[in-house]
Chains A and B, each alone.
Chain A
Amino acid sequence: MKNFIGQPVDRVDGPAKVRGKACYTADVHPPGLAYGVIVAAAIAKGHVVRLDTVAAEAVPGVISVIHHGNAPQLAYAPMEPRSMVDPKVGEALRIFQDDAVLFSGQPIALAVAEEPEQAAQAAALVRVTYAAEAANSDFARASQTARPPRQSAQPWSRPAELRRGDADAAFAAAPRRVDASYEQPAEFHCAIEPHGTIARWDHDHLTLWDKTQWVDHDRTAIAHVFGIPDDYVRVICPFVGGAFGSALRAWPHVAAAAMASLLVNRPVQLVPTRRQLFSAIGYRPQTVQRLRLGAGEDGRLTAVIHEVVAQTSVYEEYTEASIEPSAMLYAAPTLRADYRLAPMNVNTPCPMRAPGIVTGNLAVELAMDELAETCGLDPLKLRLRNYAESDAQKRLPWSSKSLRQCYAVGAERFGWSQRPATASGRRHGRWLIGYGMASALYPAHRAPASAHAELRADGTVAVTSAAGDMGPGTYTAMTQVAADALALPIAAVHFELGDSLLPSAPAHGGSMTMASVGSAVHAACQELRTKAQELDQRVRLPGDDRLAMQRAYAQLLARHRLDRLTAETEAKPGEEAERYSICAFGAVFAEVRIDPDLAELRVARLLGVYAAGRIINPKTARSQCIGGMVGGLGMALTEQGLWDDRLGRLMNASLADYLMPVNADLQSVEALFVPENDRHLGPLGVKGLAEIAVVGVAPAIVNAIYNATGRRIRSLPVTPDKILGLS
């Protein structure tokens, strides 16, 4: 009997999704639902002096207009220790608790009405008078006075600096050097499903249907906001229409929906408008990175100096792991890496697809391309020459590392040897052709998770865990794991997630769902199988025939007059993180075609080769990696937040003005996996896949652009004006 693990099983929730039957947050429609629409601040800093709601309240159907002047003071009990998804320094925005405006777009009032049209009309009629103050909303200026993050004793706090040896001296002495600054604008998740919440109180219990990657945290965070016990709150979220990190925290509008429901005493739906979403949640912060690489004549790195300045808000310190890639990617004997923050009057950034890592990796991989040229080396050779055989910063061996194989497979498949040796060296009709590549890495994590498994009278199993599925295929993968552990057919497994009443699970983020929840599901199902066997040791379970197995379970239960048999297990990480450095690795190759006259650019080919431990489902894994590469293409070519420095306001807050790739932007995209089975992170052998796929893509493309045109573009995104060298 073949294992399902490792097979390209069709998505088990596919039929629901193609029928439009998968139920996302805003599809829920409890009886008596009222609608809330946010009024957002028009200034970036100052105070609300007057809020005139007379016209708004006169709108027929309006139930209430809530704002700091009439909102109840909520408990906002501190969470100790802070959750891994919340910033460690500063205070989250407290909704409608005072008159301060900290950023443009901040929710300052909420109109609640019978119908959405009425609520929108009322929100538009709220007249606000502000006392505006000079805001800090110019990144260039703010980064001049950037400062280190305040140290915090909270768990999950990140180091602000990394050191090994005397990097400055080594750099000064290096015969080959690169010294360059790279700019990366703010990027927005823009999941197609807007964030939104439906809140309903039943006496003192709150039910939230909320777009979240972590029902458990959402529950706890909102319980703290209202000062009620965690288990008075239930959060439900069976389907997430994409999130990419944006739905890890409990955003202010979630509390606003709950407050509104409490006040109007009926269920309230609150979905910020698309424009409002750009400031209702977070985004990848804007950064500028100076990277200095020192190397010998042979390209062997002697020094890496990495200075990152990243944007954050004035009320919270959001930090990322951007300095880690420079410490881990290559075997450089010396390193100095510094992380600095530029607080601004903006909403707090948040994790977005490979947070920090993708940023740091970008700078390193762009600089490596420059170093390759300086040393007269093929970029891939340069990387092999500096291959890190262990994690020099943590001084730990890798749990596994098949990056060499990724390079080899990728180079072979892509035809890297055909790379034009000199910039603008190859033409095809009106197109200049360029090849580029980059390495990728993403640290793998695992967190405690629980799962419950219940064998039923018909021999099917129901498995549950409060996990999430924002698209990678948690439903499918867990079904495979359970089916294998119990030797059942796929159709006999029912997996449920996304409800805080279910056994607790960690954040569906950081690529750790498979390793964490998968291990719990595996353990619970194994235990269940043992329990079933223990019912009657004389029965031989036909573990090699799934249908027979289902019948055997049914018979066992029937014979013992049981209508169910259950097992619940918590699976915890061991000490692997202290003994190994555990990372997924990858190599990305890109071919671009550029019409140098019209500045038209097409990414003709993208190939990513990944070593990410065992691949549970090659079909969904491939989709996930392709999706990551599409995201990386957007990062390279089209995506950027455009703030007006004087107004302190994001001006392109729409899906027509913040440009994510469309179908026509993609041509050939392929993802391959190098076989790996890394048992250090759990019994399934996985390392996590989601984030790695976005890492390395943008630098591979930008390096290809250089190869095509001879133009080093050090600020993203690479738009036509930059290709022409005109801005």
Chain B
Amino acid sequence: MQPFRYSRPGDSREACAAGAQPGAAFIAGGTDLLPLLKEGARVATGLIDINGLPFADIRHEAAGAWIGALSRMSDAAADNRLRQDYPAIVEALLASASPQVRNLATIGGNLLQRTRCLYFRDTAVPCNKRRPGSGCPAWDGQNRGNAILGGSRSCIATHASDLAVALAALDARVVLQGRHRRRQIPLTEFHRLPGDTPDIETVLEPGELIIAVFVPATACSRHSTYLKLRDRASFEWALTSAAAAVELDGNRIRRAGIAVGGVATKPWRLPQVEAALAGARSEPATFRAAAELAGQEAEPRQRNAFKIELMKRAIIGALTKAGNLP
């Protein structure tokens, strides 16, 4: 790790100004940043500790929930109102990492965690995301964990956050504070596709902070769930996951929000699946037919084609649970 300066600003203006300096990085929980710095996959010359900023609250309003960017994953997971009104969020959080990591890690940092692609964290090998232009060894390499959706020839790394998948299904928005303005962006537009610049992952501007996530309270959000499939029973990122939120009208689905994880280069909404569900009966045949549509745009590589089928099944599984079917 290279040496860095350290500061702990007391307000967001100071933080944003410091964060805009070249080589600067915000640090919140540090659970993703420290490993990257230690392994040399990232270099920062200035760390701006944002834990002194007042963004750690979780507030509930009629319109929805404001989850402060600095609230810990464990605090959000233990929030009763979140559990009642947005179960997918709490389920995603509890299925993430470990209690120890969740006690340090923040909501904002979670959305910005870097990929788990095996090549990204090993500085001995090329990787376009880490070293632009160096190539993508995952393309023809150990890509079992990589994306089948949203990839490009430059990069097929998945976005690893579980939380982001739940938030995507719930129409969440990310609240950003920059040097000059505050703005809100739908979560689904916050992350960028890799295209030719896989190193640029979000729409954040230099020095811009995430200060909160807003989740609208809807009939859907109450009937939401998160299903995570992985190689071992706990303490692992998703091999494939699905978040489903459904609003039911009797045994008909009025509206559904479906997102998948572990399969795409960013938190991935599936509008075509949602469209197939809207107005249909809440029953296994509907789920199966809708889930079929999820794989349409998939572009698998040698070792990850199974994810197409696994993704469909995860969607069916999540729908079955959200729709309260046996």
Contact = CB atoms under 8 A, between A and B. Distances in A.
- Chains A and B in contact, CB within 8 Å: yes
A117 B34 CA distance: 13
Given A117-B1, A644-B137, A652-B142, A661 B232 contact: yes
Contacts of B122: 275, 649, 651, 653
A42 interface: yes
A592 to B, nearest CB: 13
B142 A726 contact: no
B3 to A, nearest CB: 7
Interface stretch (B78-86, B182-190, B303-311): B303-311
B116 A121 contact: no
Interface residues of B, number: 38
B229 A599 contact: yes
Interface stretch (A470-478, A670-678, A697-705, A717-725): A717-725
Given A644-B137, A663-B234, A664-B233, A649 B305 contact: no
Interface string A596-619: 011110100000000000000000
A647 B137 contact: yes
B222 to A, nearest CB: 24
B132 to A, nearest CB: 19
A657 B119 CA distance: 11
B297 interface: no
Contact of B317 (A42, A597, A661, A663): A597
A727 B237 CA distance: 20
Contact of A598 (B125, B141, B314): B314
Contacts of A120: 1, 38
A642 interface: yes
B233 A662 contact: yes
A722 to B, nearest CB: 9
Contacts of A647: 125, 137, 141
A645 B227 CA distance: 34
B62 interface: no
Interface in B13-58: 38-40
Nearest to A60: B3
A651 B141 contact: yes
B310 A724 contact: yes
A18 interface: no
B2 interface: yes
Contact of B236 (A117, A275, A643, A656): A656
B106 to A, nearest CB: 19
Nearest to B227: A598
A277 to B, nearest CB: 14
Interface string B308-326: 0110011011000000000
Nearest to B234: A664
Given A120-B38, A644-B125, A664-B233, A727 B1 contact: no
A608 B116 CA distance: 37
A104 B124 CA distance: 9
B69 interface: no
Given A644-B125, A646-B137, A597 B239 contact: no
Contacts of B317: 597-598
Among B116, B121, B122, B144, residue most surrounded by chain A Cβ atoms (within 10 Å):
B122
A181 interface: no
A665 interface: yes
A661 B303 CA distance: 23
Given A40-B124, A598-B314, A651 B309 contact: no
A415 B39 CA distance: 50
Contacts of A602: 233
B61 interface: no
Given A124-B40, A638-B232, A659-B231, A724 B309 contact: yes
A637 interface: yes
A602 B233 CA distance: 8
A654 interface: yes
A656 B117 CA distance: 11
Contacts of A654: 121
A651 B306 contact: no
Contacts of A600: 229
Given A117-B1, A657-B118, A664-B234, A598 B306 contact: no
Closest 3 CB pairs of A and B: A726-B306, A42-B124, A721-B306
Interface of B: 1-3, 38-40, 116, 118-119, 121-125, 137, 140-142, 144, 227, 229, 231-237, 239, 303, 305-306, 309-310, 313-314, 316-317
Interface of A: 40, 42, 104, 117, 120-121, 124, 275, 597-600, 602, 637-638, 642-647, 649, 651-654, 656-657, 659, 661-665, 717, 719-721, 724, 726-727
10 contacts: A117-B1, A121-B2, A637-B232, A651-B119, A651-B142, A653-B122, A656-B116, A661-B232, A721-B310, A727-B303
